[in-house]
Amino acid sequence: MNRQELLEITKNGFTWWTEGLLAWLPDSVMQKVRLQPYVQCVIKDERAILSLVSKKGEQHDELRFDLATENTDNAVLKTWLDNYQQYDNVLLVPEEYCLVKSIPMPAKAKDNLDEMIKFEVDRQTPFSLDDVYIGHQLENDEIENPEQSLSVTLAVVPKQYVNEIIDRLTAFSLPIKAILIEQRGQQAVKIPLSAVKQAPIDSSRLNLWLSGLALILIMMAMYKPVVFYQEELEAIQPILVQAKKQALHVNELKQQNKAMVDRIQFLDTKLSDYRLRVDILNELAELLPQHTWLERSEFKGNKLNLFGQSSAATELITLLINTGHFEAVSFISPLTHDVKSGDDKFRIEAVIKPRQTERVADEL
């Protein structure tokens, strides 16, 4: 056995033992402890976008490559993956490809939540348990009253959709360890995928692994006992509860502020539309020739309909286009001759051009 294999066995043993210890910690603390950088993969059309996501959720070092090409020997991609091979690869799935809903569950289900969620899939979703990947997360971790219900976010993703993407990424030596369901304005739900079966460890390696694990356990027990950390966590638990209440209050204020901003933007849009219509009518009042008079005008969405009489109705099409306000102008019915006035009756429909701000918003 070479040195590299020995280090790998020791690392796996230490990881297994550490995860066992961390399982004793409260869920609220575990969510912070488990935050680790990871490689995020996003699929858009026939392109894959890779980026390294830090503990703070910031994305760095983005790389794009084409999934449609049959050439999987991509030197740039291979180098990029080698640089971040120590991190897990996570597939980001858009919310529209998933089913995410909040469901209430009894407080007693918290100790066996994984199994209870499986029973809820058939009852709460139209999918079969064998056809989807399942993920969940608690929305209210702290239960003050035994009668209080748990609020759980349930997320399911069709296996066929995910497996097709994973198969295509495997051709590029990009194994996926978990999927992350993107939610607008909420924390994403992470769903670990089934681990790949490992080859059995022979007895010599097992003995060496156990010896290394025993040595690590002794060193950890002598350096910082687990009991000390447990007591410290219990001491800061009230502080965390208070901070969580304050965070909920701040979030409520943010939601109120967002609602107010949305109302102001709505009023601004309506006011801008009103001003545009007034400007158009004022300009038409100045430009229409003496031989033309309007009987009625009306706005319908982004269209202006004009009804009236003119001795030269066909010239009105060119006149309206030259104002610069319209992108299309046409008669919506044939011209008819009025016997009394001797003029032609017309009905014109003019499509108003989008404002410059709307075009910029569409491009963004």
Residue type, 116: M
Q: How far apart are CA 113 and CA 152, in angstroms?
A: 9
* 123 and 164 share one domain: yes
User: The domain spanning residue 83 has which CATH number?
Assistant: 3.30.1490.300
pLDDT in tens, 114-160: 888 888 888 888 888 888 998 888 776 655 666 678 888 888 899 99
Residue 161 in contact with residue 181, Cβ under 8 Å?
A: no
Does 228 map to a domain? no
Q: How far apart are CA 355 and CA 275, in angstroms?
A: 12
Q: How far apart are CA 215 and CA 204, in angstroms?
A: 17
Mean pLDDT of 228-253: 85
* 29 and 49 share one domain: no
Nearest Cα neighbor of 230 from 26, 48, 88, 91 is 26
Q: How far apart are CA 330 and CA 333, in angstroms?
A: 9
Higher per-residue pLDDT: 57 or 256:
256
Does 56 map to a domain? yes
- Top mean pLDDT of 72-86, 134-148, 198-212 is at 72-86
pLDDT in tens, 172-204: 888 898 998 877 767 778 888 863 333 344 445
* 57 and 108 share one domain: yes
Given a cut of 80, whether residue 31 has pLDDT beyond it is: no
* 157 and 187 share one domain: yes
Report the SS3 class of residue 179: strand
Give pLDDT, residue 39: 93
Task: Report if pTM > 0.75.
Answer: no
User: The domain spanning residue 299 has which CATH number?
Assistant: 3.30.1360
- Find all residues with CB under 8 Å of 194, minimum gap 6, and list them: none
* 262 and 152 share one domain: no
Task: Name the DSSP class of 84.
Answer: T
Q: Which residues span the domain enclosing 7?
A: 1-33+197-223
* 3 and 128 share one domain: no
* 257 and 318 share one domain: no
Number of domains in the chain: 4
Distance of CA 217 to the CA centre of its chain: 41
* 55 and 119 share one domain: yes
Angle (CA) 212 215 221, round 5°: 140
* 41 and 26 share one domain: no
Higher per-residue pLDDT: 334 or 148:
334
Work out the widest C-alpha separation in the chain, in whole angstroms.
111
